[in-house]
Structure 1
């Protein structure tokens, strides 16, 4: 895997996980918890998210193949879902606001919900890790590199959560919302690229390009 592919995958994972966008969710979830437990809380949330994402990274494609679906079709569907997810980040309520509202409505807070799922291990992140690890197109070493990048992004997420209090004072909740929307724009571009790759894999783009 060349450095451009590594950068692309890193950006994709960073965007879909959106560590900065999870800051307000973390602050809400830990509002009633003593500060001395915040580190443990953040660590448990990141580990729970890592377990979910690692499962789909390893077994996601196997599950698809077990029910007879091609990865190309999943890439197209996943790209469309990622695009819709990106649109919701750009035009809808900001990610933190939505997830905090859900937590308030359900009267739930904790490391697993809403922080680990759906804030860190979001549907977009789950789809992304499956799309990035095609068992037929990528070698084990490349999939291991993707897993390593995922670990790096999750480590960054943990560090950001541990510094959440300082960061929110610096950029404010509005700043976190703006960052989330910018991430959505980047994610929309990544989603379109995933659809194009899926179309190419199933042969649609090659057939369309043949007459020219």
Structure 2
């Protein structure tokens, strides 16, 4: 299934950091804090983590087959995905809303927290984009690392709110926005040159 020789620390770090930036748990902290209040002050950390992690892993392994059904290849999806990632980065840096989130008062740990907030279209698109450049085993390990981060952040929302404050959360969000822009440009440049080959 997996070749242990394909495990590369550098790739794992890159994938982990990329997914961390896209999922943006710290940047989403204000939204999560608001949802937590609507849910009676409690989010099921385990349920939300397992649901989002399972969705990401499922898309990692069957995403290509899904694209094949649509007559698309990973490189085409990677280019399209890089554009989505670029727009998400612009949102974070400029404070704009290109993608409108649906407000759902009957929210839960699975919807909308696990999906679409954590494992949303941006995250799933990023996973498919990463498949064009990195080995599956390294992406899987990157996903698992992010699942740990997701669990820890969900359990630490009250502390994060006090520690960073509104200005701190804004700075973190803009920083990761710039990182996402750079990642999007790299993915786009790597895959656009392979078109027609």
The two structures have a TM-score, normalised by structure 2, of 0.85
Q: Match for residue 46 of structure 1?
A: 49
Q: Give the RMSD, CA atoms, in angstroms.
A: 2.3
Q: Unpaired runs of 5+ in structure 2?
A: 1-6
Listed as ranges, the matches of 1:101-120 within 5 Å are: 102-103=102-103, 106-120=104-118
Q: Match for residue 37 of structure 2?
A: 31
Question: In the alignment, is the contact (CA less than 8 A) between 1:17 and 1:125 conserved in 2?
Answer: yes
Shift of 1:151: 0.9
Q: Match for residue 210 of structure 1?
A: none
Shift of 1:145: 2.4
Shift of 1:54: 1.6
Q: Match for residue 3 of structure 2?
A: none
Shift of 1:33: 4.3
Question: In the alignment, is the contact (CA less than 8 A) between 2:12 and 2:141 conserved in 1?
Answer: no
Q: Match for residue 56 of structure 1?
A: 59
Determine whether 1:174 maps to 2:167.
yes
Determine whether 1:12 maps to 2:18.
yes
Aligned length: 190
Shift of 1:83: 0.6
Q: In the TM superposition, what whole-angstrom CA distance separates every residue of 1:42-93 from its partner, at most 9, and x where no partner exists?
A: 2211222112212211111111122221221111111111111211121134
Counterparts of 1:176 and 1:114 in 2: how far apart (Å)? 21
Shift of 1:203: 5.3
Give the structure with the higher percent helix: 1
Q: Secondary structure at the match of 1:112?
A: coil
Shift of 1:3: 2.9
Q: Match for residue 155 of structure 2?
A: 162
Larger CA deviation: 73-82 vs 21-30: 21-30
Shift of 1:26: 2.2
Q: Secondary structure at the match of 1:20?
A: coil
Counterparts of 1:149 and 1:122 in 2: how far apart (Å)? 17
Give 1:21's match in structure 2, choosing from 4, 23, 27: 27
Q: Secondary structure at the match of 2:147?
A: helix
Larger Rg: 1
Q: In the TM superposition, what whole-angstrom CA distance separates every residue of 1:166-194 from its partner, at most 9, and x where no partner exists?
A: 11101013322321121111001100111
Q: Secondary structure at the match of 1:191?
A: helix
Question: In the alignment, is the contact (CA less than 8 A) between 1:86 and 1:187 conserved in 2?
Answer: yes
